[in-house]
Amino acid sequence: MAATTTYLTGIQTSGEPHIGNYVGAIKPALAAVESHDTKYFLADYHSLNAVKDPEKLRHDVRSVAAAWLACGLDPARTLIYRQSSIPEVFELMVILTNVTAKGLMNRSHAYKAARDRNEAAGASDLDGGVNMGLFNYPILMAADILVMETDYVPVGRDQQQHIEYTADIAKAFNHHYGEHYAFPIPQGVYPEGESSVLPGIDGRKMSKSYDNHIPMFLPENRLKKLVRRIPTDSTPVEAPKDPDTSSVFQLLRQFASEDQAAATRKRLEAGGMGWGELKNELFEVLNATFGPMRERYTELMEPGSALDGILAEGAERARERSRATLAKVRAAVGID
Ligand code: ADP
Ligand code: TRP
């Protein structure tokens, strides 16, 4: 990938970020800034589908933006903006609905899952509880991606269908209007292997939906308590332990230096290190990693902090690009 390719991803703004989000999404996004033209946006209109409490939506958008900035995202070197600040996204979505087959949307995983749930519950209307925001979700996502003429979209595997739909919708547009204007066809970039999936405190994948997550910016005393609560077996202190089946060690490994992780692995395997001591070590490492970010996060969450200015400037820069795309698209379709 050359440095001029556009690398864009959207961040759902539902709930405060956890350390799994850090490992799986934020850290790789920070690394990508070094080598790509990156754009990161807060997908607040996508979140509106799940979050119907305005105070919560407001809070979560600020919280996610503050988290990414506190982790070191540099607004001078990347573009960070709110989806809702870019009216061109919504205009493009309307245009794209006219080249998108309804059958494609019928096959969308999220929509099909909602119908399957209704069927399993014996409901007579399989579309019960499905609104048009859910049904059109993939088209809004296509608009997010295409409005910035994106080449690559780094996302989790769960988003693969959405990226493929975006490519299909772009091709349908290009088929109709390609002699006037053609979108670049975006490609998904997916994490490789399982190594980037962080376990939660119950050993399953860390996820807000399992309520097994460690929030990134938990105050020190609450972080300590949560780490102490991670279930472990009753192997005595002196017995050898298998680091590879311990979620405490798996968590430690992600955040400790390689040397520290190797030394701790040795001690566990040799016996003589108890779970309590391992948990203390994990707490220290997490606190050292996230402590400084927590301070910055708290500052950014204050009303009147630098956050609003950063997002406003991001929106302005993003709009330059989205306006330029829309001018070409409008001309191509004949709406001048
Ligand atoms: P959650 O499962 O908590 O709702 P999301 O689905 O909102 O998290 O995930 C947001 C981003 O964080 C995605 O890019 C996802 O791949 C990443 N992510 C979430 N949980 C983990 C995890 N346990 N390990 C690694 N990455 C994760
Ligand atoms: N649907 C994505 C998710 O749940 C968020 C998202 C919205 C997105 N628009 C996007 C991701 C555009 C990449 C590109 O995580």
What's the CATH code of the domain at 261?
A: 1.10.240.10
Strand ranges, E, within 56-96: 79-82
Query: Which of the listed residues 7, 45, 46, 49 should we mutate to test ligand 2's pocket, taking the one with most ligand atoms within 8 A of CB?
Result: 46
Query: Which of the listed residues 12, 14, 21, 71 should we mutate to test ligand 1's pocket, taking the one with most ligand atoms within 8 A of CB?
Result: 21
Q: Are 37 and 134 part of one and the same domain?
A: yes
What's the confidence (pLDDT) of residue 3?
47
C-alpha 93/C-alpha 147 separation (Å) is 9
Determine which of 38-42, 109-113, 206-210, 319-323 has the lowest per-residue pLDDT on average: 206-210
Angle 36-38-39 from CA coordinates, rounded to 5°: 170
What's the confidence (pLDDT) of residue 194?
63
What's the confidence (pLDDT) of residue 192?
82
Q: Are 272 and 313 part of one and the same domain?
A: no
3-state secondary structure of 154: strand
Examine residue 223 and state whether it is found in any structural domain, yes or no: yes
> Exposed/middle/buried for 115, CB within 10 Å: 0-12, 13-18, 19+?
middle
Q: Are 274 and 131 part of one and the same domain?
A: no
Examine residue 43 and state whether it is found in any structural domain, yes or no: yes
4 vs 112, which has greater pLDDT? 112
268 lies in which domain range?
217-298
Residue nearest to atom 5 of ligand 2 (CA): 10
For 197, which DSSP code? P
Q: Which residues contact 172 (CB under 8 A, 6 or more apart)?
A: 99, 100, 101
Q: Are 133 and 275 part of one and the same domain?
A: no
Q: Are 167 and 275 part of one and the same domain?
A: no
The rounded mean pLDDT for the chain is: 95
Question: What CATH number is attached to the domain comprising 310?
Answer: 3.40.50.620
Q: Are 137 and 159 part of one and the same domain?
A: yes
* Residues 137 and 114: beta-carbon distance below 8 Å: no
317 vs 191, which has greater pLDDT? 317
> Is the pLDDT assigned to residue 235 strictly greater than 70?
yes
| Ligand 1 proximity of 203 Cβ (cutoff 6 Å) | no
Measure 47 CA to ligand 1 centroid, in angstroms: 15
Render the burial of 158-190: b for 16+ CB within 10 Å, e for the rest: ebeebbebbbbbbebbbeebeeebebbebbbbe
Q: Are 148 and 90 part of one and the same domain?
A: yes
Average pLDDT over residues 21-46: 93
C-alpha 180/C-alpha 60 separation (Å) is 40
Query: Which of the listed residues 141, 207, 322 should we mutate to test ligand 2's pocket, taking the one with most ligand atoms within 8 A of CB?
Result: 141
In this prediction, residue 195 has a pLDDT band, given cuts at 50, 70 and 90, of low
Average pLDDT over residues 4-12: 92
| Ligand 2 proximity of 85 Cβ (cutoff 6 Å) | no
Q: Are 29 and 66 part of one and the same domain?
A: yes
* Residues 140 and 108: beta-carbon distance below 8 Å: no
> Is the pLDDT assigned to residue 115 strictly greater than 70?
yes
> Is the pLDDT assigned to residue 238 strictly greater than 50?
yes
- The answer to whether the Cα torsion of 79, 81, 85, 91 is positive or negative is positive
What's the confidence (pLDDT) of residue 1?
43
Q: Are 314 and 257 part of one and the same domain?
A: no
